[in-house]
Structure 1
Amino acid sequence: MANPVSSSDRIRERALYWFARLQSGETDSAERAAFERWLAASPAHRQAYEALRAAWDDLPRPEAELAAARGYARRRGSFRRVFGPALAAALVLTMGLAAYEGWPLSDTGVYRTAKGERRTVVLPDGTQVELNSDTVLAMRYGWSSRSVELERGEAFFSVAPRKFRPFEVRASGGSIRDIGTRFDVDRRPASVRVAVLEGAVRIRLADAGDERQVNQGQMASYSATGVLTEAAPADLSAATAWREGKLIFRATPLPEILAELGRYHPVVFRLADPALERLSLSGVFKVDDLPLFLATLEAVLPVKIGRAEDGSIAVERTKR
């Protein structure tokens, strides 16, 4: 399902329109009054316009580029009649921003990892993303935003700062907006968990209309049904241990442990006795060594591990 255009994207588009119109030099008093009304209607309008103007001011020789665009529009009368000098200024601005930031106006692509594979990629804007096992990340970069869709799995983001276009991760009906940070997003079938190591992020649920800021050292999650938790202090070492090829469990129930192992290995676990769901385990384990983990499981819990006829791994209770 296509992602709807957010209100912040619409505000940036309108800000670009007004900036281009004012730069064209052909606005009348009625248009300038309309611009002032739009600017005063919301602090978000002024913030978007000022960010755009600051980005324009940072471009090398913007007046020379704008003069060239005006000259081109004057020389090509048909171009000017159809598109107008405002569009010429907008094109110069967006192309200038693309050159200034060092990446194209739009970019799409999909990054994947197989089960048991971890991978680090660098996006066109310099953002570094570490992909956990069995993860799919789709790029949705456009002229007004840097957006990626976490379709499955988990990823750790080190976002390139000081860009005009904001960075956003979308996952399972929610969006995670970067506020200059390093953060982890873990998408599960029923929920999405966000852990922030540096800076802050803002989580927004479009359908529920809920929004929450998560600061450094905190974690929050939201469910597939649109319930967003409060931000709370987090065990970040456990949340991001996968980056070092480890799993950290702290009194973790056995079903959660087996589900986590299934994320890294092509196996299916079956609990022979529902009472086993009450067992828990703590410790630090290597992700890649499944036989060692299963041997440890048998050594510390009253369970026996065996292969079932269908190839699944059966976990049974033992008497001690």
Structure 2
Amino acid sequence: MMASERAEIESAAALWLERMRGPVQDSAVAARFDAWIAEDPRHVESYARMASLWQSEGLARAACATRAGNDNGGEHEDAEGGPRARAYRRWFGLVAGLASLAAAVPLAQGLFAPTHTYEAPWGTTREIALSDGSHIQLSGGSRLSVRLTPWSREAELEKGEAFFDVAHEALRGFAVEAEGARVEVLGTAFDIDVLAGGRREVRVYRGLVEVAGASGAWRLPAGTGLILDGAHVRSLEGIGGDRPGWLDGWFDAQDTRLDRLVERLNRTSRIPVVLDDPQLGELRVTGRFEMDSPQEIVETLAAIHDLSWSREEGRYRIGRP
């Protein structure tokens, strides 16, 4: 590759790096970036080098040198175009600094990082520590896939519930796909629950989250949440604490459908709970339930709604008297 061609690729990589540093990108911009990355393996390599350089000591020295040069020639710059021209020249100098340093930095490890899939069996929970410092808790019956690259952090919650405590990074956002909804952050703590029928619930415990679905996009600060159920969207308020109750073995039901509570209970209980009549799932429940005591919960639910229950064939059954 000729030097001029290498310089052109590295300049483009540096410009894309700056553009993609924002927490949420316009879909058209993201599509152009994906096309540029896929166009040539050298684009991937150059972008990875720029990413590793962004917060390096070498870049800091280059940026300081660029600022010093601009300060020494300030009067000349004022005459040539004012603040906008000065800002452009400062950025151009930074890009030049990145490009000049890129050749000296090895390609980031894990450039073509594989997708890792994690599962938590029914009746258990699982903790996952990612290489970027983020931590994820999976509830029972959940499956999650994660892929970390030098320029992105992507996950997909295929089923179940997961609590994400995302390490903050200025360069790479963290995005989670969940049944057609996309949650994007830089560094925060939030919970996603994928329920039967495609219902998705998002709750934010720290930071700011952007949720995008078929019917729109929403920005959720800490203490709020969102329920996406088909075309229906409902906001959640008053979410307290720094983590969801299920991590500590509790479930807070607020006018919750009985089948929702049973689904949640089955994620942690080693003895499954079934409803003899699906219509019983429409009954509503309010209360705080200790998920480590499934038989007590079954007894309580039967008492609240005047139902019968039994334990047979390795499961709890709830039905009509």
Shift of 1:23: 9.1
1:245 aligns with 2:254: no
Unaligned runs of 5+ in 1: 1-16, 25-31, 33-42, 66-85
Q: Tell whether the 8 Å contact from 1:156 to 1:184 is kept in structure 2 after alignment.
A: yes
| Residue of structure 2 in register with 1:202 after alignment | 210
1:173 aligns with 2:177: no
Q: How many residues align?
A: 250
Alignment of 1:64-75 (within 5 A): none
Distance of aligned partners of 1:307 and 1:169 in 2 relative to their CA distance in 1, 3 Å threshold: same
The 2-side partners of 1:313 and 1:280 are apart by: 19
Q: 2:58 aligns with which of 48, 57, 61?
A: 61
Helix, strand or coil for the counterpart of 1:242? helix
Helix, strand or coil for the counterpart of 1:148? strand
The 1-side partners of 2:265 and 2:202 are apart by: 20
Q: 1:269 aligns with which of 258, 269, 274?
A: 274
| Residue of structure 1 in register with 2:134 after alignment | 127
Helix, strand or coil for the counterpart of 1:161? coil
Distance of aligned partners of 1:239 and 1:199 in 2 relative to their CA distance in 1, 3 Å threshold: closer
Distance of aligned partners of 1:94 and 1:210 in 2 relative to their CA distance in 1, 3 Å threshold: farther
Shift of 1:232: 3.9
1:191 aligns with 2:181: no
Q: Tell whether the 8 Å contact from 1:219 to 1:232 is kept in structure 2 after alignment.
A: yes
Letter in 2 for 1:222: L
- RMSD of equivalent CA atoms: 4.1
Letter in 2 for 1:60: E
Helix, strand or coil for the counterpart of 1:221? strand
Shift of 1:95: 5.9
Distance of aligned partners of 1:271 and 1:164 in 2 relative to their CA distance in 1, 3 Å threshold: same
Distance of aligned partners of 1:249 and 1:123 in 2 relative to their CA distance in 1, 3 Å threshold: same
| Residue of structure 2 in register with 1:220 after alignment | 226
TM-score normalized with structure 2 length:
0.64
Letter in 2 for 1:315: I
Unaligned runs of 5+ in 2: 1-6, 16-24, 34-48, 63-95
Distance of aligned partners of 1:281 and 1:63 in 2 relative to their CA distance in 1, 3 Å threshold: closer
Give identity over the alignment, percent. Answer: 25
The 2-side partners of 1:317 and 1:63 are apart by: 71
Letter in 1 for 2:274: F
Distance of aligned partners of 1:94 and 1:134 in 2 relative to their CA distance in 1, 3 Å threshold: farther
The 1-side partners of 2:256 and 2:242 are apart by: 11
TM-score normalized with structure 1 length:
0.64
| Residue of structure 2 in register with 1:13 after alignment | none
Q: 1:117 aligns with which of 97, 114, 124?
A: 124
Distance of aligned partners of 1:53 and 1:313 in 2 relative to their CA distance in 1, 3 Å threshold: closer
The 2-side partners of 1:163 and 1:177 are apart by: 13
